[in-house]
């Protein structure tokens, strides 16, 4: 089973397109949709909802948001000393 470079789907090695560049690196594309989006249209795989990379970036953003809210809550819980105006 080979994994598509663009969408992350696993396919049999005899399906799809294996693109071998001059430097010797091999890229596997499971469909023409993936190949065209990556090579011709030069799209970012993290911004397309149907790719695995989009799910990963979405999860990272959600984790970051949770950490920021937890950090903000911990700052709010700090006790504040009030000064006595008589002193």
Per residue in 42-78, pLDDT tens?
A: 999 999 999 998 888 888 888 888 888 888 777 666 6
Read off the pTM: 0.67
Could you tell me the residue ranges of all domains in the chain?
A: 2-74
Strand partners, 29: 17
CATH class of 2-74: mainly beta
**Quick one: pLDDT at residue 72?**
78
What whole-number distance in Å separates Cα of residue 53 and Cα of residue 35? 15
Mean pLDDT of 13-30: 93
Q: Which of 85, 5, 2 is nearest to 51 (CA)?
A: 5
How far CA 47 is from CA of 25, 54, 82, in Å, comes to 24, 6, 49
Is the dihedral angle over the CA atoms 67, 73, 78, 83 positive or is it negative? Answer: positive
């Amino acid at each position: 089973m080979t994994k598509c470079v663009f969408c992350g789907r696993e396919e049999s090695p005899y399906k799809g397109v294996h693109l071998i560049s001059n430097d010797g690196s091999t890229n596997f594309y499971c469909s023409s949709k993936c190949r065209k989006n990556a090579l011709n249209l030069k799209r970012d795989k993290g911004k397309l909802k149907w790719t695995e990379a989009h799910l990963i970036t979405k999860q990272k953003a959600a984790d970051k948001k949770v950490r920021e809210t937890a950090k903000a809550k911990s700052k709010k819980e700090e006790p504040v000393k009030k000064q006595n105006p008589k002193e």
